[in-house]
Structure 1
Amino acid sequence: MSLAILWIYQGLIPKILFQADDERRIWMLQGFNDQAAISLMQCSGAIEIIFGALFLTGYKTLALHYLNIVGMLGLSFLILIVDPHYFTQAFNPFVMNIAMLALSLTAIRLIKDQE
Structure 2
Amino acid sequence: MNHKPVLEKPLRLIQITLAVLWIYQGLIPKILFHSHAEIAIWQSMGVELPLAKMAVSLSGVIEMAFGCSFLLWQRAVILHQLNIMGLAGLLGLIALTDPMQLSTAFNPVVMNIAMLVLSMLAIQLLNVSKQQA
TM-score, with structure 1 as normaliser? 0.97
Instruction: Select 1:11's aligned residue among 1, 6, 26.
Output: 26
Which letter does structure 2 place at the counterpart of 1:16? I
**Rg bigger for which structure?**
2
List runs of 5+ in structure 1 lacking aligned partners.
none
* Shift, 1:20, TM fit: 1.2
What is the percent sequence identity of the aligned residues? Answer: 49
Give the Å deviation of 1:53: 0.4
- Match runs of 1:1-115 below 5 Å: 1-115=16-130
| Runs of 4 or more consecutive aligned structure 1 residues displaced over 3 Å after TM superposition | none
Query: 2:125 and 2:112 mapped to 1: Cα distance?
Result: 20
Residue 92 of structure 1, CA deviation: 0.8
Which protein has greater RCO, CA pairs closer than 8 Å, 6+ apart?
Answer: 2
State the number of aligned residues.
115
Take 2:71 and 2:129, find their aligned partners in 1: how far apart are those partners? Answer: 19
Q: CA deviation at 1:70?
A: 0.2
